[in-house]
Amino acid sequence: MSRAAQSAPDAPPAHPGALAAALRSTPVGMAVIVVALIVLFGVLSPNGAFFRVSNLSTITLNVSVTMLLAVGITYVLAAGELDLSIGSNVVLSAVIAAEVLVSLSGTPEQVRAGEYPNLALGVVAGTIAAILAGTLFGLVNGLLVTRLRINSFIVTLGTMGIGTGLAYVASNGVNVPNVPRSLQTGFGIEKLFGVIPYPMMVVLIISAVLWYMLRRTRFGLYTLAIGSSRDAAERAGIRSRRHILVLFVMMGALAGAAAMLDLTRFATTNIGGHQTTALAAIAAVVIGGTSLFGGRATIAGSMVASLIPVILGTGLVILGVPSFYQLIVVGAILIAAVFIDQRRRERLSS
């Protein structure tokens, strides 16, 4: 992916090579693959079931949490760091949010009877709890990485286990009971104009802000600079450790937000889930054109590429192929993407 294509919005007026460059850029290439997959499954599926609006909006719904995490982790990878703990952060934050939400929405008797007299209070407090819990999780990661100077791969491998363990401790190993179903019907599966699910709207808005930050602000440029050469960034007066701490905190806050979206989507805490969420998000980001080694990143690429595993999954299910094949495919794609990224990097620096 060329730099010129990456900074397309600010690039000088289009020249003959602009179209070719756009086609070579990863986000556009990914979009082509996504459309090809949709057409492929559409044609293969019985009666074109895959093409139905209901199916396509289910895909959008299923992708929203992964997309949010992918967009967030794009920053972490851009700075040359890694966060494997995001899935377990989502689970822990969802458990904490659900407990706060349920206990503030009504008395235990009311809640057990399915009545939520203080639902609004519960939802607001639950959302705040989710984001705070996620942020705190990210802060711990960030402090371990920047103060103790432990490699972020190891730190977040550790906190991944710790987070899952804490989620089981906090919930006694079972999903928090009595989460109001109205979370789901009122928001989680509700659609704007009957097409775009509300959670997806939230994800798109957050992604737009993060896209702007990466492309247009000092914060974004410093993130890339640190990932490209930490020495060069430091000598330009950028405080890289503080910046990396902020990135982990930001990632944590986004995982907290993802936890709340997940809670509204399923009206349950999903404590056994999200084991492969970090893998899927990182895979999407690398497939999308962000370098695993830092310095190069594209939010648009991450967004488009996060559709791929979900489309594959849904398509395979519609074709009657067991869904666990999706795991195999995603794992294989991740390895392939990293290999391509490595090759690209070697070629560029030779």
Partner 1 sequence: MGQRVRSEQGKPSSPRSDYVIEATDIVKRFGHVQALSGASLQVRPGEVLALVGDNGAGKSTLTKIICGALTPDSGRLAFWGETTTVTSIRHAQELGVETVYQDLALAPDLSVAENMFLGREPLTRGIFAGWPPSLDRKKMRQAARQAIAAAGISTLNSVDRAVRDLSGGQRQAIAVARAVMWATTAILMDEPTAALGTKQTDIVYESIRSAAARGLAVVVISHDIPKMLSLADRIAVMRQGRTVSNLPARDLTLTDVVTLMLGGHARGEAA
Residue ranges that bind partner 1, judged by CB under 8 A: 3-4, 7, 10-12, 212, 216-218, 221, 224-225, 227-229, 231-238, 291, 294-296, 348-349
C-beta closer to partner 1: residue 22 or 37 = 22
* Residue (328 or 348) nearer to partner 1, CB: 348
Beta-carbon neighbour count of residue 48 at 10 Å? Answer: 12
Spatial distance between the Cα atoms of 269 and 164, rounded to a whole number of angstroms:
12
Distance CA 188, CA 259 (A): 12
Nearest-angstrom CA–CA distance, 26 and 343? 15
Question: Shortest gap between Cβ of 246 and partner 1 (angstroms)?
Answer: 16
Q: Nearest approach, Cβ of 348 to partner 1 (angstroms)?
A: 5
Please say which residue, 190 or 234, places its beta carbon nearer to partner 1: 234
Name which of 148 and 348 has its Cβ closer to partner 1.
Answer: 348
In a 3-state reduction of DSSP, which class is residue 197?
strand
Cβ nearer to partner 1, comparing 145 with 238: 238
- Smallest distance, partner 1 to C-beta of residue 196, A: 25
d(CA 221, CA 17): 26
> 3-state class of 219 per DSSP?
helix
Distances in Å between the Cα of 318 and the Cα atoms of 43, 48, 285, 307 are 12, 10, 26, 16
Nearer to partner 1, 120 or 205 (CB): 205
The answer to whether 269 and 263 are in contact (CB under 8 A) is yes
The residue behind tokens 């906190």 is 159
Closer CB to partner 1, 47 or 349, in the complex? 349
Interhelix angle 86-105/119-146, nearest 10 degrees:
150
Return the sign of the alpha-carbon dihedral for residues 204, 210, 215, 217. positive
Report the C-alpha gap between 279 and 5 in whole angstroms: 27
| Minimum gap (Å) between residue 216 Cβ and partner 1 | 4
Determine which helix (DSSP H) or strand (DSSP E) holds 192, and give its type and residue range: strand 191-192
Of 5 and 71, the one with the shorter C-beta distance to partner 1 is 5
For tokens 């450790």, name the residue. 241
CB 295, min distance to partner 1, A = 3
Provide, rounded to whole angstroms, the least separation between the CB of residue 97 and partner 1. 29
In one-letter notation, the amino acid at residue 237 is G
Least distance CB 220 / partner 1 (angstroms):
8
Instruction: Supply the minimum distance, in Å, between the C-beta of residue 224 and partner 1.
Output: 6
